[in-house]
Amino acid sequence: MPYIKDYGKAEDINFLASAKYVSYTYQISDAGVTANAQGRKIVKAGTPYPANDDTAIGIVFIDTDVTEGPQPGAILVDAWILEARLPVALAAAAKTSLAAKSNIKFKLSV
């Protein structure tokens, strides 16, 4: 019998502006990720990957639990994004890097 633990209600905000997107699997690091109230290290969907700076090549597509160490995760590399709905504000360097290294485009929220 599998062990299942209830971590509470999950609420995700849709930050995609289109149903068409492309994501690839990358190894998401646990470095610098702080634990939440339940002791889990979660990299939130909408976080720039690998960092919110000039190294950004994509955006994390779904929440990824890195409590036990680095884990594979889906990274958006081609999508229309509603920037105002992202969980963290993008740094100017990250936006420039995303424009150069991926096909991420931003749309104003309506």
- Domain count along the chain: 1
In the prediction, which pLDDT does 16 show?
Answer: 95
What pLDDT sits at residue 110?
62
pLDDT tens across 100-110, in order? 999 999 998 66
* 26 is a domain residue: yes
Q: Is residue 3 part of a domain?
A: no
Distance between CA 42 and CA 63 in Å, rounded?
6
- Spans of the chain below 70 pLDDT: 1-3, 109-110
Q: Which domain holds residue 29?
A: 22-107
17 within some domain: no
Residue 85 belongs to domain with CATH number: 2.40.300
DSSP code string of 20-77: --EEEEEEEP-TTPPB-TTS-BEE-TT-EES-SSTT--EEE-S-EE-TTS-EEEEEEE
Task: Supply the pLDDT for residue 3.
Answer: 67
pLDDT at 1: 53
Q: Please tell me the predicted confidence (pLDDT) of residue 75.
A: 98
